[in-house]
Amino acid sequence: MASTETRHVADWAVHSADAAGLPFIVVDKVQARLFVFDARGRLLGASAALLGSAAGDASVPGIGTRKLSTIRPDERTTPAGRFMASIDRSLAGEDILWVDYDAAIALHRVIATQPAERRLQRLESRAPADRRITYGCINVPVKFFEGVVAPAFRGAGGVVYVLPEGRSARETFGSYEVGAGSSIRR
């Protein structure tokens, strides 16, 4: 179920044409979920997501050039904002959706190579707090990435709206109420 803020941003993105005729994603950090829409605002899919372990809406300056081992727990945020995103390759050669290249934030398949982190189980948890574990990247189930995210963003890319935790969407995006009759086709 999409939160009020998720619906607000999705409706506004379509009504205002802010998504510029491209597919878009709304990431709800409070609920640790994301919603993928086509260019007309039709919902293509929704999923739980793993997000940065630290609360906050900004990336630490220069974090994208640092080694993971130097990133403190309080710096592991998924930044809020509007990002032009495109499918490209990671350093390991896998396709990922680059969200904020400078901050090294991507949306990608869940990485479950550290069993102690229980990332697959965390994705299944109903508690949003359980899904806060990454260094800032957004992780989704493999099938969801391959079946929904990658096909929607291949080619021209799209827009990713990451909802803030510490302020409103209106402050972050300059969004407005669309009014009666959502422009989102579900």
Catalytic residue among 137, 152, 160, 163: 137
DSSP 96: E
| 108 a catalytic residue | yes
Residue 18's Cβ-side half-sphere holds a number of Cα atoms within 13 Å equal to 23
CA 89 to the chain's CA centroid = 18
Q: Which residues pair with 25 in a beta bridge?
A: 36, 160
Catalytic residue among 108, 109, 119, 131: 108
Q: How many residues does the chain have?
A: 186
DSSP 42: B
CA distance 60 to 131: 21
The catalytic residues are: 108, 137
